[in-house]
Structure 1
């Protein structure tokens, strides 16, 4: 649990730590707003594209071995990012980082799921989510402290020694395990990779390219994903057995994490910038300002994980995303260039609590609905939906921001931020709707 949770913390941290460093990166490397967006999107792009491939590779060549390989790639890519002399090299390093992360997250969940029986799995996932959740307050704070105290490349250098220790521990302290299907579904790999790439690439172009540049790859990606699902029906060794989707808990849980991470990551992209570009805070002050938002994610998931097994996933998902959505609506009402920080402190705590309530419940819904032999494939699907949701969330919030404002002034930024937060609330509402389809605990359906 310790090894997989710390590895997950490192991966999630790097999805968030860049937020408070964006202003410094923009000034140091002369990056445009579009290029800044790609420091986030590049990570999510390769992450989303390779998740299902990583799960299949773990089943075939060993989950521990592939997990250790992913950590190694992630650490090396972090060094590339730290040494980047220009924005192009930084984006390339982030692509490689995302590729390494793709071979860490689903394998971490699979190794953890295989180590605990279904009855104890929700509690274990609560601890796992709690450790991962530390990234929410630690990411912006660490990013701000490092930028203010040293320089932004050190947000990446930190990963190198941590990665080395994790690889050694993984290879010496975790037992090797494999999935039931040792064969590789090559057509499935190609189709799901192409489909994920097309969808994420199309979403990343929203706000910067014309409709053809957005719709072309997006439609091509959706067609490829449709072909992937069609192929899975007749593949001898499917990457994602469609029988898993017969469970409402599995299907709804994946839909929930799509909207959950879309809302959370999307607003996370703008929140640190709002404190800096909208309210005039420095990087460290912005990081400290976001601590109340994420502090609950280090505590609440453990409590939720203990109670999910008793009350089921649905109450925690509906209540969690409901709280987060209400908090976003609250912030949208009060946001402005002249407000006090304390006007958004309470809704930040409310939002963080809601996000923390939902995550372990969504994980439990997906992983407890899968048979032990399919735990690797289920974790791959869950992680893929999470990353696709994140890319979708950043894209639609960028559109909302562009419609409501710009970076031209603090007033213009506050206007765009308000619209973006409203979009985040709408995504949370869709997550609540999806959560309502999860059966109650007393249901006989898995």
Structure 2
């Protein structure tokens, strides 16, 4: 008995298995950079970054300690299965009970099913179930005088089953195999994968349950639901509490930590190859040249090996979300600007606002080195595009038509920055040199310069 997610469920557009497997990988390292670069899960680094942000916003990873929460562990342990309509699950249960009846009527059988107890989602009459939770009380037919006699009879019976194993660890394993073959058939239905042999676990769980089959009373019965099994004194302290379906309601949308662009590298280096998983056409479209002088910096950045430490980094306040420094510099020239982001408006008509402050120049008092601006514009465009994609994914999940405005505020930037940085940034977004929409999703995204 556990938590199961329907394979068709989507969380921010991703399958539950992506979160389950991503969190499992994260538990091995607790390194966000390694998580978002799990190439077996995420086609692009941006996918991993969005998933990580959703884990933070949905209580699966603690945003302060970056540890997986109890809710996150429920997700890790959950099963991802096709949910089955109640009526179909009921039909599977009836087929199972038919086989139990046949076993109990078979004069050659060595095992008998005395009781079948139902608990879990099917007992609660949920419209869709992940599996059928059953506990079975089983006994041996009393006509056999000892175990040797039963094993001898099992050898004779099993000869008619060509699919039976050819070797056995213990002689009495044949008895168990014949029993399972009788009640589950040639192939066990996936819905019955978690059937418990014995009532010990059910009693230890101390959960509501209902007797649905009693051999002493002739077979199927329609008993009422009990608060727990009659032999249960309550939940055992040695049994973990039953998991509850995690509340995956997301927190209010906020800009992503821009350090995802660097793989959370504390030196702020940007590798397009790692972002795009190779030198793809999309990669070359945004970064025609390798941005070796580009850095994305926050308060925690280590720029000890960078040729310039802008004044804005000496002042605190660059958290990577509301404010992040974007710079390009060598020993001889450099430009640094602070990007500020915020979401405004309503869920139905959101706006991602971007503005700039603290323009700083290295070894120059007035003239901006134009060579620094293309890679800075490309990095800024990518940051805004992925913020926008996450917003669109949230809207799709909530059933809202995907719609967004990206408003870029010029503020007090000099003409050089407006003409060669802001205009280029808007063009990259407008022409989709960097993708904004999730794959195969049509949306309305408007780019505004203000």
Same fold at TM > 0.5: no
Bigger radius of gyration among the two? 2
Ranked by relative contact order (alpha carbons within 8 Å, sequence separation 6 or more), the top structure is 1
Higher strand share: 2
Q: TM-score, normalised by structure 2?
A: 0.27
Higher helix share: 1
